Every structure is written in C-alpha cells, then in structure tokens.
Chains A and B, each alone.
Chain A
Amino acid sequence: MKLHEYQAKELLARYGVPVPASQVARTPEEAQRAAEALGGKVVVKAQVHAGGRGKAGGVKLCATPAEARAAAEALLGTRLVTGQSGPGGQPINEVLVEEAVDIARELYLGIVIDNSAGMPLVICSAAGGMEIEEVAEHSPDQIHRQLIDPTVGFQGYQARALAFATGLEGDLNRPAVALITALAKAFVECDGTLAEINPLVVTTDGRLLAADAKFSVDDNADYRHADLFKLQDKTQDDALEVEAKDSGIENYVKLDGNIGCLVNGAGLAMATMDAIQFEGGMPANFLDIGTQNDPAAVAAALKIIGADPNVKAVLVNIFGGLARTDVIAEGVVQAKRGGLLPQPTVVRLAGTNVEAGMKILDDSGLDLIRADGFAEAASKVVQAAG
C-alpha cells in the first residue's frame, strides 16, 4: 500500500525525520490560509501516488498566498497524468502546502528489499533529485549501500558510513546519522517495502530536511498495522481494479488490449498474456483467480472482464492444482447464463477435476470455444477477437 507524501512525512516525522513545515489543503481557501501561516512563500504539491509529479506540473512554487490559492484551484479536482500514472492519471483530492526552502545540496536516501540478500537495503547517494535508477546505471560508484541485518538491526556505524560517504560531515553529520537511523527504524517497524527521501536537502541555512517522501507498506502485513491501512486512498487506483478487490480478487490489473483473461496462478497469467501477444493479440487485463471454491466468485471475476468495453473476446486458461477446474467451469456457466460475459469465450481446462469440469461445460449447451492446450487456446482467442 502506497502512502501519500503528506502521510509518509507525518509517519517519518513521528520517528524523528525532520521535514519542512507544511499543511494539507482540500480547498483553495485552505491552501491560501496554509500559505499565510507558513510565511507566504510556499510550494503547492499535488497529492497523488504516482511518481513524476514535478515534470507533469503537479508541483508549483508560489511567492504569495494568493498564488498558492490559484495553484491549488488549478490542481484540486483534476487528474494528474504523469509518466508513471497510466493514461487516465490519478485524481488530486488534496494538495500539500509546504514552506519553500532554499536548497544548497540535494541527496538521495532510500530503503528497498534486497531479494538476493534477503534483507532491507539502505541506499544513499550524493546525487539527489533525480531517478536513482539513472544514477545506478550511469555512476554506480555514487551509490552507497548498507544492509539491515534483522538479528541486530541497523547499526550506528552503518549510518555514519553512509553520511560520510555522501559528504554529510561536520555539523551535518550528527543530524544525518539520526535521520538515516530514524528512517531505518520506521521502515522495519512499519513493514516497509519501499521508502524514499528524494531529495534529501541541505538548506542554505544548514538544515537537513526530507523535501519529498515516499513510503509503501507491505500489504501482507496489514494485520499488524490497522492504523496505517486506515490511510489507504483507493481513489488513486483504477476503478475496475478497486471493484475486483472488493469482490475478493486481489490480483487484477487493467491493461490496454482487447482480450480479457481469467487464469489461475500469477505465472501462468503472465505467460497467457505473453502467448496472446505472441499470436498477435493484446491482453485487456491480468487476472489471477487463485484458488476459488465458490463458482459465484469466478462469475464475479468474469463480470468485471465482461464489463470492460474494450474486451472483444475472453480466454479462460486454468491449470488446476489447488484450484479445481469444475469450480471454474461452474463459474463460467453462471456468468454466461447471467449475461455477464457476452463476448466470445475460449475455455481451456487442465489439471484437478478436469473431467468433471469438461462435463459441466458440455452439459451447459452454451456456445463456448474449447481449446486443448495452451497454444491452441491463445490462437483461438486471438482469432475470436478479430
């Protein structure tokens, strides 16, 4: 789950990470009052989950409270399309009004999960304010790393090593060590999967501040963090994806093609998309139905696919292990009979209870396109989509 910038800053501030003075505004009037309270010169920032806000015009420097009001008026209630948001963009329901600081230096500080090491990895770089992936590619020597070992936790020497390596010396060293340590503590305690302070700034008056903040919490740790999950903003997600989640389908992703897919298993679902593209088609979605014991849940998933106006044909590709093909077949029949899936539908069933599954399809008398094997299924659905 992604937090908004203002939520991430509130969280990190509780752990002792210094952040610029700011207020959240939901109306232009609130933005103006916030700017007045903050001393006039502010930055007004659109609160959306997608990165790349600055380039997309979602961050505006304002010299006066009146300008802040105008900036908020222009942003609030619109959708911001960034390089990472998808073509539909994300709605701006809130702006963060923040004191404008005079920046002397910009650095990068982040924490990710290092899959190979099996531990969180703290990354620090003196090259802040740009994409860390670009820094990693073009000047890897500018990236400094320290793992967080769960047996002893993040150590002081590690924070000092990162601070010294990025030139945070002299009067800045102690605050830098405290800030890095605080971020590491927040990451571990809150089940972080990604934390980024980019840029971490040194102001002309010698302060160290988190000028931006990103924080994602592990969805699988929701039972430990009821308070954080109250902050979840579903308006940032695609409407069909939200509906899928509400129907108990965790793994639905809307895509741009015209062939709907219902598959069990994330790997097979991705491979199905690949096979469709290999045959010259384009998938309209990714959907991993997982293991369902209730045909109604399968029908509900097919309803979401069937309701997508771009979908011209549908492929149901199931290889049952824990998942039972007879339950899937029952769900397909329910969806077809209920008129939820008007598009031509190719069904390929294999694995657990496949005889029972086939029989349900045969007995239904419905006009379903049957496929034996993966290749045939992909080529038939691409044909059906025209």
Chain B
Amino acid sequence: MGVLLDENTRVVIQGFGGAGQREARNSLDYGTKVVAGVTPGRGGQLIEGVPIRNTVRQAVDEFGANVSLIFVPAPFAADAIIEAADAGLATIICITEGIAIRDMVGVKRYLRGSSSRLIGPNCPGVITVASHARAGIMPVDVYMPGSVGVISRSGTLVYETVDQLTRAGIGQTSSVGVGGDPIIGTTQREALQLFEEDPDTAAIVLIGEIGGTAEQEAADYIKQMTKPVVAFIAGATAPPGRRMGHAGAIIAGKAGTAQAKQSALMAAGATVVQSPSQIGATMLQVLKERGLA
C-alpha cells in the first residue's frame, strides 16, 4: 500500500495560487482526488475545476478532505498549518519554503499531542504510487509501483533517487520528503517507523544531509528495524560552517558532519552509499542479497 496516502486520500490545497493550481492539475491528471482548494475570500469559486472554500473546516465538512497540501506564502504558513490541524486533518503536508524558525517553534509545540501529522515544511510532499495518491510537487513519470520506500530531507534528491531505482527496475511504495528546515513536523526516524510498519514496503532508502543530529536519531531506530535501509548523506564535501541552502545543512560541531552520520548509520546496520549516483545500484544489490529482487 505505502504510507500516509492511499486510495481514500482526499486532498485539500491551501493557497490556491499559481503553484497550488498547477499541482492540483498535475495531481488530478495522475488520478488523485483533489477535492477542494482554500483561499480566503474566494470561497464559492471554481478554479481549474476545483471548488474553492474560505476555510479548511468548510473543505472538510463539505468534501471530506483528509489530507492538506499547503502552498501558502511563508509569513502566513504557520497559521495555515494550525488551521489544518484545528480542522482535524490527519496528514498536513507543507511545501512552503522560508518559514521563520520562531513560527515553526510555535507550530511544533501546538502539534504536540495532536492527532495531526505534519510533513515538512520546505519539502516536496508525499506520494503513494500504487494508489496514485499524490500530495506534493514531484514529477510522477519517474515513479513505478513496487516495494521500496524513499525518505529524504531534500526534494530533488527524492526525484533523483526514485529515478535511479526505477531505472534499476525497482519500484516504490511511497516517497516522503521530510523537509530541509531545522524544525520539521515528521523526522527521518518517524518516517522510517511508518515504512517499517507498512506491510508492502520491503526496503527503504534514506537520504540525509549534513547538519543537525536527525540521522543519528534515525540510526538509533534502524537498530531495531527488520527491513534493510540504504542510506546516503549529502554534503560530505561541503566546507564546515557554511550554509548550503538548506537552513538545516550548516554543520555545527562534529555530530553534524557527513562522516559522523555515516558511521552512526553503518553501526546501526544500514548500507551507506558514498556516491549519490550509486543509490539505485546499491539497493538492487541489497535486495538481491536478501532474495527480494
């Protein structure tokens, strides 16, 4: 089946501007149920064939939306996430980039104990291939149904990884872009747990990055996993102390280095890939060794 999204997924898009409309169209073409859009003040309109409402609550009540996809501009994104949680949506996926850290501190604290799960922000979203359920911005052509789950901090590295897997003849259950910001809703560790518990996922690719300690926390969980994990850490050659685009990717202290993360993952039993071009080939080898391919 995959994680987070399935054939029952009903997506509401918050922030139905240019990007929101385009991705609504792409998801509808793919076969995803995009049931409503939310743009305050435009309630009642029909844009790209999608009914627009003023509030998320209306989209839930009228159209049974259960997943929110957020494109709202950064200064208003925290408000949008909390609105979605308050409307009771199970899964909230925030694409928006550039949200202030202080806003995310508040969001993260608000969501503690809530039944809503936030993915992102600053992420490419989630797709479950077999269900044609897409809540994100990923190109769908590279995906192929199968049994490998993909987790990544970076959006484009999700596409790159999935492309390599598909070219190697390995299909995917779902991909989850957890996001490149310092404070994110769902961590790599939590995403691993979702795939570990998904009966259709046989193996997982984990794409980490320099900075922070999220990969070490993921490694801690890998120790107790039954499924094989292939991991790559981007930024092994980045000079320390320089910020490489992702706010999360500034190396602070030794724990943040690629080497420290690679060691932790290897010690936990993951297969660590040194070159990003070898992800697909390595997964193929791991699956073969286990009699899974």
Interface residue from A115, A149, A188, A286 paired with B183 (Cβ < 8 Å) = A115
A218 touches B101 (CB 8 A): yes
On chain A, the residues within 8 Å of B278 by CB distance are: 375
Chain B window 236-278, contacts with chain A (Cβ cutoff 8 Å), 1 for yes, 0 for no? 1111011111111100111000000000000000000011111
A153 to chain B, nearest CB (A): 11
A269 touches B99 (CB 8 A): no
Given A119-B105, A270-B234, A273-B238 in contact, is the A264-B156 Cβ separation under 8 Å?
yes
Chain B window 82-121, contacts with chain A (Cβ cutoff 8 Å), 1 for yes, 0 for no? 0000000000000000111110111011000000000000
Task: Report the separation of the CA atoms of residues A372 and B236 in the bound assembly, to the nearest whole angstrom.
Answer: 24
Chain B window 133-145, contacts with chain A (Cβ cutoff 8 Å), 1 for yes, 0 for no? 0000111011000
B274 touches A351 (CB 8 A): no
On chain B, the residues within 8 Å of A137 by CB distance are: 254
A275 touches B277 (CB 8 A): yes
Task: Report the separation of the CA atoms of residues A271 and B249 in the bound assembly, to the nearest whole angstrom.
Answer: 12
B138 touches A321 (CB 8 A): yes
Given A119-B105, A255-B239, A288-B245 in contact, is the A268-B157 Cβ separation under 8 Å?
yes
Task: Report the separation of the CA atoms of residues A193 and B103 in the bound assembly, to the nearest whole angstrom.
Answer: 12
B74: Cβ under 8 A from any A Cβ: yes
A340: Cβ under 8 A from any B Cβ: no
B24 to chain A, nearest CB (A): 14
A275 to chain B, nearest CB (A): 5
A257 to chain B, nearest CB (A): 9
Interface residue from B141, B157, B232 paired with A265 (Cβ < 8 Å) = B157
Task: Report the separation of the CA atoms of residues A149 and B106 in the bound assembly, to the nearest whole angstrom.
Answer: 9
Given A118-B183, A119-B105, A220-B101 in contact, is the A374-B253 Cβ separation under 8 Å?
no
Task: Report the separation of the CA atoms of residues A137 and B249 in the bound assembly, to the nearest whole angstrom.
Answer: 21
Task: Report the separation of the CA atoms of residues A216 and B275 in the bound assembly, to the nearest whole angstrom.
Answer: 34
A136: Cβ under 8 A from any B Cβ: yes
B212: Cβ under 8 A from any A Cβ: yes
Given A136-B253, A264-B156, A267-B157 in contact, is the A274-B275 Cβ separation under 8 Å?
yes
Chain A residues with CB under 8 Å of chain B are 84, 112-113, 115-116, 118-120, 133, 136-137, 149-151, 188, 191, 193, 218, 220-221, 223-224, 250-251, 253, 255, 263-278, 283, 286, 288, 319-322, 350-352, 373-375, 378
Known contacts A267-B154, A274-B234, then 13 further A-B pairs from the complex at CB < 8 Å, ordered by chain A residue = A116-B217, A118-B109, A150-B109, A191-B101, A224-B100, A265-B245, A266-B246, A267-B209, A270-B210, A275-B275, A288-B244, A321-B139, A350-B160
